[in-house]
Chain A
Amino acid sequence: MDSVTGLMNGFAVALQPQNLMWAFVGTFLGTAIGVLPGIGPALTIALLLPVTVYIEPTAAFIMFAGIFYGAMYGGSTTSILLNTPGESGAMMTALEGNKMARQGRGAAALCTAAIGSFVAGTIGTLGITFLAPPIAELAFIFKPQDYFALMLLAFLSVSVVMGTSKVRGFIALFLGLSLGLVGIDKQTGLQRLTFGVPDLMDGVEMTVVLVSLFAIGETLYVASRFGLHKPNLNPLAGGIWMTKEDWKRSWKPWLRGTAFGFPIGALPAGGAEIPTFLSYTVERKLTRHPEEFGHGAIEGVAGPEAANNAAAAGVLVPLLTLGLPTSATAAILLAAFQNYGLQPGPMLFINSGDLVWGLIASLYVGNLMLLVLNLPLAGLWVRLLFIPRPYLYAGILIFSLVGIWGVSNSWVDLVMMFGVGLLGYMMRVYDFPIAPVLIGLILGPMAEIQLRRALSIGQGDPTILVSTPLSAVLMTVSVLIVLVPAALHWRRTRKIAPLPEDRSPV
């Protein structure tokens, strides 16, 4: 069965009324959990696994696919409107998205996120349909040194563009790197910075830091400034739809974000965060409106949001073609397959073609459903901001705490939430950027483990780090990213120095 006939049969399955209903349930549930901090698709699908006993496989997978895509989308709503991302993949969306919301352009930000997610999700699903086998091969091509070079690139590029003050940015970054060190070192089994607290042995949970820094820090900050000056902001000042200019500035970031997200999402150690970092950096570099970045540039919402959703589609590639789960959610989907006695992998398309193509077709359907569900609602969500802020932020605080408690049932995590939340508040007061903390926390441990793997394989020889063509290229780009701006700056200052009156705004 070739791809096209397979897909057509798949649509015949996915478009049956009861399967449409399951797709709706899934996307709705997914959007809801994406909005809720801490609770992600992995946990939700795990808790829904028992239903696989009662409903037929096609229906279950259609629902799970809806949850999966929906969760990636849902995170953007709270990021943009409330500056409280629920998942790490939505963090970069908050940077520009929330600034847009504060200018009354929240609806446009939500629209570009929704359409970007749809575009990326659709291209990603097309990728699954037609390119799955070659993309899955990437998993075998990437060696530890390649991963390390990719992470270094993400790390350096995003650090270079972050924040207004380099010193503050680097302090925040190193704070994140230190948090990332906490826990048992996987390679040697030694404990680092755990202070004998058993709950710290597995490290600091990224979600806890994400939710605390953003949600708790934001709540405290708003509360502390509440009496001082009330904002005179109409959340709908910028209209409820994207302008022509917005479209023009969004479509390229959507496509570029997808190009980052889909292949990196398909890598076993890729994830959804790295593509969002890369996409944000690239959009910031390529934009014709650099002055708007940091103050609500639509490109900074469109790109990362597309990257995030394309990565979600990418994750399904190795799962379906090789039976390889590359994320927590994929591992649970694999468990669901096994519950039905199905083994994903090359044989799955042959043995259970109806199911797989039904699943892939339902990804298209679910994606469209998300767009239909969310686009008209963008104007409605924005009205959330009309809720008096004491109620709104009290609600955020409670959802954050319930979300984190639901994930770990750990009071240590709750205590940490308040500690980190206080830190987030201080950082806001003294104008430190928050994103570098999370970038350090996410990328630091990933880069460290790949570096040490590579060195271990090379028995300590550092040249292994540039031993593959891919790692050599990525490494060179990383070095250029640091050196070129520095060199340009040096040349500019040297030229300009004798003729200060010629200085043009840079």
Chain B
Amino acid sequence: MRASPRRLLGLMRKEFLQIRRDPSALAIAFVLPALLLLVFGYGVSLDARHVPIALVVPSPDAFTTSFTGQLYGSPYFEPRSFRSIQRAERALAARQVQGVVWLQSDFTRRAESVGDAPIGVFVDGVDANTARIIEGYLRQVWANWLASLARSRGQPPTLVLAEQPRMRFNAEVSSHDYLVPGLIAVIMTLTGALLTALVIAREWERGTMEALMVTPVRVTEILLAKLAPYFALGMGGMLVSVGLAVFLFGVPLHGSFLVLTGCSALFMLAALGMGLLISSAAHTQFAAGQIAIVTTFLPAFILSGFVFDIHSMPLAIRLITHLIAARYFVTLLQSQFLAGDIRSVIVPNAAALALMAVVFLALARARARKRLD
């Protein structure tokens, strides 16, 4: 029995017809990605702006105003004046403000005499990330204030180091610009692994797989016929996502589209390999869905570096992330969008994706047998 192009084409035509007519496949392939993109694009942002803070200055004068003026001028803060520290603390407890800045009544006197007058800062530590960012912003405000104070008085600078921060690639510091590209990896995981695993499980449940198996069709043909249409579907999803990212959310695409497409294709193959592998183990949609979500979707979200920094994870989990295709793809995506074609990023990550694609597809082929036992 040799491979026959007619059988393969027949199977592929069937897959396309089914996708076209099955509302749930279309939902997973197009509605879910669009929903994810919109929800993420609009809902997810780590950029703190206009943070409400309480300002307690019991005895304001020109000196304290030179400091608080900096706060009012900062785009990061929205200071609200409170008359006593107790009221400010109550507002903090009631989540009306996220931080308190307190200049005690002897602030000016101490600053002008001995120096080191404390600027009391309390931040709401519940959301630690935002708290850290607020602290960072406050420190900048303070440093700027010190510098301008020294300048206006003609004194040497109090801070002997001039910090010159420079953000490479994402000068606007917009978290959208890295979250939206990373999301493409999650979306392609959905079509590649989840949808493929579900579709094959459905063939088992409905008995169509058994009917296929007794025809002269070869296992490789069945697998190829599944790969091709869902590859196309996944790449279609990728194009839609890239389009939305660039045109709706205004994420810059610095790298070449060609490289992006090539890397996406490699990732898609790896995801499809995962999907096929899952379906060889799970013959019900319920089980396939569960396994696909836990082994592909969740890791693509949490362990890929898409939101959470991989370097900061415990060693054991850091090692696990190396087994997750989305990790390499997220790295590639963020770089391709925000930085451009960087060989030293593309080559190792694309190689890792290619390797994973080959391994998963080979495993899927080895596990697929034309038997029911």
Please indicate whether A and B come from the same complex rather than being unrelated chains: no
